[in-house]
Amino acid sequence: MKLRPLTAAFAMTVMLATATATPALADTGHPSTTAPASDCALPGRTGWTDEGHNTDYTQFQQPLGTKHVLMLFVDFPDAPATGSLDDYYRELAPAQDWMKQDSYGRLHLEIDPLKRWITMPQTSASYGFQRGITFDEQELYVKQAVQAAAPYTDFSKYDMLYIVPTRSASAISFSPTYLYDPTTAGITVNGTRIKWAITFGQDMWTWGYRVADHETSHTFGLPDLYK
């Protein structure tokens, strides 16, 4: 779930296209009883994130149609807001065009920024990003951001969240994906279960929008293909 090399974004390009593109059925010479795509289907191996054929779409979201993304901007008691919200949005917004192009138009991200700073209740250094962050630590981070933003938005309108930290929060270093655990109470706000979120870190200024596409693809169940 951690983004490392840039090549991972391009590996994901290929896999996302595989998962969403309709195969060309004409001129293949296959008998009509054979589903051509099944011949070259990559079998799932992990029982978790796989190439699309064994994906559990209760755990993951289906990469089709429009996905409404709420972008939240957060700052911290030890890292106050800095800069223009528009600059943060512009860094990640091209993820929308990439996803549209890569899915041959079958998948649209619609990123809706909540144009205000949300102040987190804890210091940026306290969440554990610099130790690699655990599931529980990340869930707490998402939960606190959601609770702080709840007075200003309606979470029921969105499929997933992008949580973007102020640039002064150097402790929020990398950009893991939050995938909810259906067997636990997790995070519910005003009746809406929060299932998927990207908790962006300062590496977004290195990778740019590519980190958004890469991490969002994990919410579709796609694996990392790098070691």
Q: Which residues bind Zn ion (CB under 5 A)?
A: 224
| Rounded distance between C-alpha atoms, residue 186 and residue 194, angstroms | 8
Q: In what order do the strands lie in the sheet with 196-199?
A: 107-119, 65-75, 160-165, 196-199, 177-179
Tell me whether residue 153 or residue 216 sits nearer to Zn ion (CB atom).
216
Q: How many CA atoms lie within 13 A of 127 on its CB side?
A: 29
Least separation, in Å, of the C-beta of 214 and Zn ion?
Answer: 6
For Zn ion, which is the closer residue by CB, 1 or 69?
Answer: 1
Query: Which position's Cβ is nearest Zn ion?
Result: 224
- Cα–Cα distances (Å) from 162 to 18, 67, 98, 215, in that order, read 25, 12, 16, 10
In the complex, the smallest distance separating the C-beta of residue 102 from Zn ion, rounded to whole angstroms, is 16
Looking at beta carbons only, is 78 or 224 nearer to Zn ion? 224
Q: Output the smallest distance, CB 3 to Zn ion, in A.
A: 5
In the bound complex, what is the minimum distance in angstroms from residue 149's beta carbon to Zn ion? 25
* CB distance 201 to 90 below 8 Å: no
Residue number, 166 or 177, with CB nearest to Zn ion? 177
